[in-house]
Amino acid sequence: MVKNETELLLERMGFKDNIEDIGAHEGVTRRITVRIRGEARMLIGEYGNNLAALEHVLRRIVAKNQGAEAHFTLDINDYRMKRLEDLKQDVKSAAHDARMYKKSVSLRPMSSFERRIVHLLLSEYPDIATESVGDGDERRVVIKPFP
């Protein structure tokens, strides 16, 4: 259902010729990931904003057609996977700096999903605390060393 709706929406947007493949895969958490491959950079947008908007619209379409909330993730050319790996590296580096210099380190503003990943990643460190600060699009995680 999600794969079909994705193909239909992209076709209506004029991206049919630019898309090599659309595949839906079920992950470990039984959440579907719809992966799109092809020349679709415009669909990703700056910092993935277009991708997030497209996923939101698609989620609304699928929910309306199914009559229930749709649980899936949309990824184009593995953009989200690569971004997640970059985030992990940034977090490790920031945690190292917080420990080394005994100072709080503020990360860039990020989505609630990314902030949750940061909190989960650093929950394994007993000498590090995390806190989300700010409002709206400026909400970020601050990494603090324990005294």
Q: Give the domain ranges of the chain.
A: 2-77, 82-145
Q: Which CATH architecture has domain 82-145?
A: 2-Layer Sandwich (3.30)
Full-model pTM: 0.76
The domain covering 2-77 belongs, at the CATH homologous superfamily level, to: K homology (KH) domain (3.30.300.20)
- How high is the pLDDT of residue 33? 85
- How high is the pLDDT of residue 27? 61
- How high is the pLDDT of residue 29? 54
**Tens of pLDDT along the chain (147 residues)?**
788 888 899 989 988 777 777 877 776 556 788 888 888 888 999 888 999 999 999 999 999 988 888 788 889 999 998 999 999 999 999 999 999 999 999 999 998 889 999 999 999 999 999 999 999 989 999 999 987
CA distance 130 to 22: 37
